[in-house]
Amino acid sequence: MIVYFNGNYIPKEEVAISPDDRGFLFGDGVYEVICAYSGRLFRSDAHLERLSRSLKALRIEEPRLEKLSDVARKLIVKNGLKDLDAKVYMQITRGAAVRDHAFPNDKTSPTVYAFASAFAIKESKWESGVKAICVPEMRWPRCDIKTVALLPNVLANQLAVEAGAEEALFVRDGFITEGAVSNFCAVFDGRVHTYPESHYILSGITRTVVLDLCRRLDIPVKEFPVAESRLKQADECMILGSTKEVMPVVQIDDMVIGDGKPGSITQRLQKAFKNEKLTAE
């Protein structure tokens, strides 16, 4: 695999990251995941804008290297992924410096690492729907920053795997915020409800696309928190994310959602999202 590391395209085995890297020591870094369909990047501008916002929030200097959208495209070509669906992962940390909590001096340059790999969602999950579990929110109140410090998400996702579920949904003060790797929506009486943009959720690119599709399809949206106690009244539920797209959730913990099958609004949004993928560039 050819990866990108601090300005160079090199075999993955040749990457040498310092044990003093603050990403390793403190989780002091940010990342993005961009999907590519047949070699074309989906909403890369929005992903890179979010990366820039995350860097600013952590006061990490934006590296003056090659444009990251060009890096993503080159990685796809160099790894023979042009005709496949793939995902590009990119990570920027504050760099390597003698261990001290406060920021290192200005001379420390960020570490930039990116790779592309083939990626395909199991279509059967879109058709049958998946199970999710609820877990208590255990993240810091800046979930809008896409930081590599993902331990609560790791633990939540592991609980989901152990429960035979696709996703873990965080519950803060009785309300579902989002999933460990996705945003969450529930449908009540034909209206899509989802947690409003705030510090408590990551502003998902898929979420933005889907809310825009709702507007275009005349599906009413309410950006308002969904109470865990109301889930049993939901007609449909779904999770949204680059690695999930529009995925129906038909069971949460022991509760069957709606009639236990993907609902009609979810299916309309899935179809519209599929069309939207054709606009990848």
Ligand X SMILES: Cc1ncc(COP(=O)(O)O)c(C=O)c1O
Residues found near ligand X in the complex (CB under 6 A)? 33, 178, 181-183, 202, 204-207, 240-242
Name which of 182 and 270 has its Cβ closer to ligand X.
182
Name which of 95 and 241 has its Cβ closer to ligand X.
241
Q: Annotated catalytic residue: which of 87, 131, 146, 244?
A: 146
Closest separation between CB of residue 47 and ligand X, Å? 7
Closest separation between CB of residue 207 and ligand X, Å? 6
Closest separation between CB of residue 202 and ligand X, Å? 4
Name which of 48 and 250 has its Cβ closer to ligand X.
48
Q: Kindly report the three-state secondary structure assignment for every residue of the chain.
A: CEEEECCEEEEHHHCCCCCCEHHHHHCCEEEEEEEEECCEECCHHHHHHHHHHHHHHHCCCCCCCCCHHHHHHHHHHHCCCCCCCEEEEEEEECCECCCCCCCCCCCCCCEEEEEEEECCCCHHHHHHCEEEEEEECCCCCCCCCCECCCHHHHHHHHHHHHCCCCEEEEEECCEEEEECCCEEEEEECCEEEECCCCCCCCCCHHHHHHHHHHHHCCCCEEECCEEHHHHHHCCEEEEEECCCEEEEEEEECCEECCCCCCCHHHHHHHHHHHHHHCCCC
- Residue 146 bears catalytic tag: yes
Closest separation between CB of residue 149 and ligand X, Å? 12
Closest separation between CB of residue 153 and ligand X, Å? 6
Strands 255-256 and 221-223: unpaired
Task: Mark residue 204 as left, alpha or beta (left: phi above 0; alpha: psi -120 to 50; beta: remaining).
Answer: beta
Name which of 225 and 241 has its Cβ closer to ligand X.
241
Other C-beta atoms closer than 10 Å to the C-beta of 235 total 17
Name which of 95 and 146 has its Cβ closer to ligand X.
146
Q: Which residues are catalytic?
A: 146
